[in-house]
Amino acid sequence: MLLVDDEAPMRAVCRLNLELEGFDVLEAEEGREALALASRERPDLVLLDVMMPSMDGFDVARRLQSDPATRAIPVVFMTALAASDDRRRGFDAGGVGYVVKPFDPVYLGATVRHTLDRLAAGDRDGLRREVLDAP
């Protein structure tokens, strides 16, 4: 699991909860670092903040998509950008999940697991509907 967020407190909280759920967590505080880690470590999933200095999350996602080595890694966005347009942008950038801040980190592990299950079942569209149809 790769966790990307420029906010250290946020990373700490997410990491703690994910580890309690039994995930191994890698951390990156900005885009370039995230791309390097993803390419090297091939995580099962990337939790990606959108608003970061230098390179935003959508950009990072697109780069992951364009690299054959990382294309298969699913991306779940974590962001305060809650508008439906932003969610669509997230999916257009190659995301399969979208978590709106502030979220309850207690359920972050469940969300990740749900996403992986759905993808394993080949139900990418279902994930998309879940996010886009959310109020």
Partner 1 sequence: MTRRDWRRHTLAALIAVGGPGLITLLAREKRARDAAARDRRRAEASARAAERLQRAAEALSRAVSPADVLDAVLTSGVAAAEARAGMIAELSEDGTELIPIAWRGFPPELSERWGRFPVAAAYPMSEAVRTGEPVFIRSREELDARYPTLAMGPDTTYANVCLPLIVDDVTIGGLVFSFDSDQEFDERRRALKIALARQAAQALQRARMFEAVREAEGRVSFLAEASELLSRSLEYEVQMQRLADLAVPHLADWCTVDVLNESGEIERVAVAHEDPEEVAWGWEVHRRVPPRPDSLLGVPYVLRTGEAEFLPEVPRKLLATALESEPELAEILERVGVRSWICVPLKGHGRVLGALTLVGAESGRIFTNADLELAKALASRASLAIENALLYREAERRADAARALTYVGDAVVLVDSDEVVRYWNRAAELLLQVGRDDALGARAADAVPGWDALTAHAVPADASTGKRARAVTVPVVVAGVELWLSVAAVDFGDGSVYALRDRTEERVLEQARTDFVATASHELRTPLAAVYGSVRTLQRDDAELGDENRELLLSIIERETERLTEIVSQILLADQLGSDSFRVDAEACDLKLLTEEVVRAARVRAPKGIEVEVEAPPALPLVRGDEDKLRQVLVNLVENAIKYSPEGGNVVIRLEVSNGNGRIVVRDRGIGIAPADQQRIFEKFTRLDPGLSRGVGGTGLGLYITRELIARMGGTISVDSVPGSGSTFIVELPVQA
Show the binding pattern over residues 8-37: x = contacts partner 1 (CB under 8 A), - = does not: -xx-xxx-xx--x--------xx-------
Kindly tell me which of 104 and 123 has the beta carbon lying closer to partner 1.
104
Residues in contact with partner 1, total (CB under 8 A)? 26
CB of 86 to partner 1, least distance (A): 11
Radius of gyration over every alpha carbon of the chain, rounded to an integer in angstroms: 13
Residues 37-76 within binding reach of partner 1 (CB under 8 A): 49-54, 56
Residues 102-121 that bind partner 1 (CB under 8 A): 102-106
> Which residues sit at the interface with partner 1, rule CB under 8 A?
6-7, 9-10, 12-14, 16-17, 20, 29-30, 49-54, 56, 80, 101-106
